[in-house]
Structure formats: C-alpha cells, structure tokens
Amino acid sequence: MATITAADVNKLRTITGAGMMDCKKALVEADGDFDLAIENLRKKGQKVAANRSDRESTEGAAIAVVNADKTAGVVITLNCETDFVSKNDSYVEMAHKMAEVALNTSTMEEFLAAEYENGMTVQEKLTEQTGVIGEKIDLNAFEKLEAPYVGAYVHINKIAAIVGFTAKVNNVEELAKDVAMQIASMGASTLSYKDFDADFVASETDARIAAIEKENIELGRLGKTQKNVPQYISMSQLTPEVMAQAEADIKEELKAEGKPEKIWDRIVPGKIERFVSDNTTLDQEQCLLDQNFIKDESKNVAEYIKSYGDVEVSTFKRVALG
C-alpha cells in the first residue's frame, strides 16, 4: 500500500478544492494514484448531485466577462444552495474562471463540454464540486454577445449585464458602464417598444387596467386619492389618430376651464407630454431606451446615449440569481 503524505493530500486538495479528509480518503482508496483519486471524488460528486437534484439552487454568483479588445462578452450564473457557499472566495474564483471559458464558446452545451482545466470539462468540474461542497452546483444561465464595443457591469455578484454598441466613440467606456448599470438595476427585457408583440401589449393592457381599477376600489373605500386609469400602456398604441384625439381632448378641457385660446400653445405641449408618459408605462418599465436614466431622470436612456454622438445600443443581455 502506498504511503500517503501530507504533501500528497495538499496536492490533491489544490487540484480539486476538496477538504483534507476527503482528499486523504480518496488517495487511500486509490492507493496513491492521483488520477484514480480525482475520479473517486468525481464519482462522489455524481452521487451527491443525484441525491440533491430536486434542491433549489437560487444562491451563487452572477459573473460578466469581456474579452481584451472589448468586442465580445458573456454573462453566466453559477448557482448553489446557500449564500454561505456563494460568498466563499474560492467559489467566486471558480465562477470567474468558468466565465473565462464561456467567453470562447457559443452555446450552453458547448460551454459545458469545454475544458475547464487539466482535461476536465466544465460539466465534470460542476459534478466534482457538488461532491466537494455537498450542495447542488449548476450553471443556470449563459448569454453571449458580440459588437464593435462591449461593456459590462456586475452588481454584488447577484446581477450581471453586458451591452453591445454599434461604434467605439469617445468616452465609450463611461457610456458602456452607465448603460450596463442601467440594465442591471432596472431590469429591461427588450431594447424598444418596437420589439413588442401586439398581442402581448393588448393582454398586458387589459391586465394592468384591471389591476388599477381593483386597487382604486380599495382606495375609494379608504377615502384616498385614486390612481389614474390609463387608456394605453405603450407607444406602439399611440397612433397618429390617438395622438390627434388626445390633443383635441386637451383643447376641449382648456376651453371648458375658460383658458384663453391664445395661451393654449404654451400649455398643450406639456399636457401632451404628460399624456404620453401616463400611457407608456410598459415601455418605461421594460424597454431600455424608454426608461428614465437612473443617473439623471430628466432624460431617458435613448437621450443619454445620443449625447455621445453617432452610437446606438445593438443588443444587451442580463442574468440574475433567484
């Protein structure tokens, strides 16, 4: 029987990240054969993974990585069961290393099959670490994009975002960081209202109006001010006919209030702006370009991007734990 030294145990621990006793046991069972010991630890991971397959893994680390020339980026979430594990430096380091591997792949399947280290694939590393850590460890999200310039932002390893721009303009680094932060913070699901399906907008409109009307019943019962019930929720619904009618209604209102017609042109634009704001809540919530810019709410994101010159957002990706 081979003699297992402390140096042998430490070497296996360095390779696998397993605990000292697990490494010693694996080496003893493998009679000092490192490759067999690693395989034994991997098999242990497979057993643990099978036993914990139904567990929720909502903790972990969300990671964003961009290549050296800022033309490609990837976001992933490496999930586990507890925040105790997710806050461990070695776990976060593993997540970063996996994201670096992901940067050179195109799909989740390709990513999982890619080499992580020493001939071990990413999938095999996940299985191994499930045995080492004793929790369900898996990759729940993988998104990649390419563009003339790519920026990234990560919020306390819980949310990660990458954004692609059509050109590398002056101060694009600042622009990219701000917009990626906007994506991470405000959770846009699409770039513009033009991306919405008409059936989705119609369904969402009915649901939102019903929710507000229900809430207003309770507000009325309590004697509180009721919320405005919008007719529409997206710019996609504000056709030229709708806008013309809105302007006509505003003028009728001003006339009824006895406002002199000669001052209407100073009042109408502001009321039209308010009408648009009140009737585009879906866009403001879910469309990146239509959201208020978090660093300056006097402008939307599209206006902020425009201030940098001839550049636009081409696409973006966002992943989050939970």
Q: How far apart are CA 215 and CA 258, in angstroms?
A: 33
Selected residue with higher pLDDT from 114 and 32: 114
Tell me the pLDDT tens digit for each residue of 155-193: 999 999 999 999 999 999 999 999 999 999 999 999 999
Q: How far apart are CA 52 and CA 222, in angstroms?
A: 49
Q: What is the architecture of the domain spanning 59-192? A: 2-Layer Sandwich (3.30)
Q: Contact at 8 Å (CB) between 268 and 230?
A: no
Over 60: is that where the pLDDT of 82 sits? yes
- Is 59-192 in the same CATH topology as 6-51? no
Q: How far apart are CA 22 and CA 12, in angstroms?
A: 10
DSSP reduced 3-state for 60:
strand
Neighbours of 230 (CB within 10 A): 18
Task: Give the pLDDT mean for 16-37.
Answer: 73
DSSP reduced 3-state for 144:
strand
Band of the pLDDT at 128, cuts 50, 70, 90? confident
Q: Contact at 8 Å (CB) between 56 and 63?
A: no
**pLDDT attached to residue 7:** 79
Could you tell me the residue ranges of all domains in the chain?
6-51, 59-192, 194-295
Task: Give the pLDDT mean for 106-130.
Answer: 92
Mean pLDDT for the chain? 90
Over 80: is that where the pLDDT of 287 sits? yes
pTM reported for the whole predicted model: 0.78
- The tokens for 75 are 């976001």
Q: How far apart are CA 100 and CA 110, in angstroms?
A: 13
* Domain 6-51: assigned CATH number: 1.10.8.10
HSE-CB for 280 with a 13 A CA cutoff = 23
DSSP reduced 3-state for 165:
strand
